[in-house]
């Protein structure tokens, strides 16, 4: 993305004065007097325009950008566009939208509420909300109930009870609702059929992981399994028992068995696990990897309650070795 450059005044804790600003794919860059100051989009918590001044709330402090003149609103829109593009990267959304626009949004996730203005895009398997803060969401249609519409509002509720609403999208409301219903019906049908096929072929598809499955079953676990996406042959299975879970990733890569402890119900953990696996899709390392030097994955986890839940309840891992069975039994 080439948004050109902007002459401005910048005021930050470690950088102040006149500068030339460039809006990049991954960061904002300010240059002045052989000095460079960058703000990675992963660090932006909120951006807003007030009286021709742009204020950025970041994890490293506040940044104020001003004296943009007639380019002020253009700068804000270009920055929001670049920020949203990076959010979609972090949410692993790649397909072209069935609809894109702007409107109001509101959502409630496990009692936490957020609302405001957002760019809105409907895709073949999800609805995306992209506000000018770190509250972006990818809402998977495969886990949703039938959309509802009333008084120019469209509501979508997930199987875990989280609720999302978009409004003030004008004459597009009815068309977006119809597209959402059609997309949701299609993806739910495919998701259900793919999981039925997985269950029917589980013994065959487990391959060399059959022993691990049987060992979890033998210690009294309730066994579940699921897909990452409709476009991948890989899958996962887990054994859940009394506030503990062991999760195995069945892919072409060599992976460990990941352990979890939790104080919610086993059913709540299962929902979180299914949502986290679907949101990670082909980027499974986001579930367990260290995020210190991975700003994109930091954005991913920040925008997914299910991934945050899973990572917060990780209790270690078991490498596939001669002591695997003994360590699994000790854990449970």
Taking only the tens place, the pLDDT of each residue in 210-226 is 999 999 999 999 999 99
In contact, 286 and 316? CB cutoff 8 Å: no
Q: What is the CATH class of 99-197?
A: mainly beta
Tens of pLDDT, residue by residue over 121-141, are: 999 999 999 999 999 999 999
Do residues 126 and 139 touch, judged by C-beta distance below 8 A?
yes
Confidence of residue 236 (pLDDT cuts 50, 70, 90): very high
CATH code of 5-90, in short, is: 2.30.29.30
Query: How far apart are alpha carbons 216 and 14 in whole angstroms?
Result: 53
pLDDT tens digit sequence for 172-183 = 999 999 999 999
Answer whether residue 197 shows pLDDT above 60. yes
* Residue pLDDT, tens place only, 29-76: 999 988 999 999 999 999 999 999 999 999 999 999 999 999 999 999
Reported as a pLDDT band with limits 50, 70 and 90, residue 290 is: very high
Cα–Cα dist 19/36, whole Å: 9
Task: Return the domain boundaries, the chain.
Answer: 5-90, 99-197, 202-331
Task: Decide if 5-90 and 99-197 have a common fold.
Answer: yes
Reported as a single tens digit per residue, the pLDDT across 2-19 is: 567 999 999 998 899 999
How far apart CA 254 and CA 306 sit, in angstroms, is 24
Measured from the Cβ of residue 296, the count of other Cβ atoms closer than 10 Å reads 17
| pLDDT value of residue 66 | 96
Query: Residue 111's pLDDT is what?
Result: 86
Task: At 74, give phi and psi (nearest 5°).
Answer: -65, -40
pLDDT of residue 114: 96
């Amino acid at each position: 993305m080439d948004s050109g450059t902007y002459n401005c005044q910048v005021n930050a804790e470690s950088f102040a004065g006149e500068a030339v600003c460039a809006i990049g794919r991954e960061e904002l860059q300010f240059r002045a007097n052989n000095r460079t100051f960058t703000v990675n989009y992963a660090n932006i918590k909120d951006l807003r325009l007030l009286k021709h001044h742009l204020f950025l709330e970041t994890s490293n402090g506040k940044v104020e950008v001003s004296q943009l003149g007639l380019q002020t609103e253009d700068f804000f829109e270009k920055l929001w566009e670049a920020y949203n593009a990076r959010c979609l990267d972090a949410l692993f959304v790649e397909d072209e939208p069935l609809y894109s626009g702007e409107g109001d949004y509101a959502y409630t996730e496990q009692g936490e509420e957020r609302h405001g203005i957002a760019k809105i895009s409907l895709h073949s398997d999800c609805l995306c909300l992209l506000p000018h803060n770190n509250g972006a969401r990818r809402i998977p249609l495969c886990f949703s109930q039938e959309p509802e519409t009333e008084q120019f509002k469209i509501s979508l509720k997930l199987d875990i009870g989280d609720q999302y609403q978009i409004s003030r999208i004008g004459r597009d409301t009815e068309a977006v609702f119809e597209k959402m219903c059609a997309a949701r019906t299609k993806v739910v049908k495919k998701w259900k059929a793919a999981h039925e096929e997985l269950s029917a072929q589980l013994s065959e598809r487990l391959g060399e992981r059959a022993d691990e499955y049987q060992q979890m079953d033998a210690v009294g676990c309730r066994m579940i399994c699921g897909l990452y996406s409709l476009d991948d042959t890989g899958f996962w299975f887990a054994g859940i028992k009394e506030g503990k879970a062991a999760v195995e990733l069945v892919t072409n890569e060599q992976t460990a068995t990941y352990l979890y402890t939790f104080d919610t119900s086993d059913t709540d953990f299962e929902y979180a696990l299914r949502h986290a696996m679907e949101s990670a899709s082909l980027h499974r390392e986001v579930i367990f990897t260290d995020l210190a030097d991975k700003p994109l994955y930091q954005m991913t986890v920040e925008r997914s309650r299910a991934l945050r839940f899973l990572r917060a309840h990780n209790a270690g891992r078991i490498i596939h070795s001669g002591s695997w069975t003994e360590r699994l039994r000790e854990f449970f």
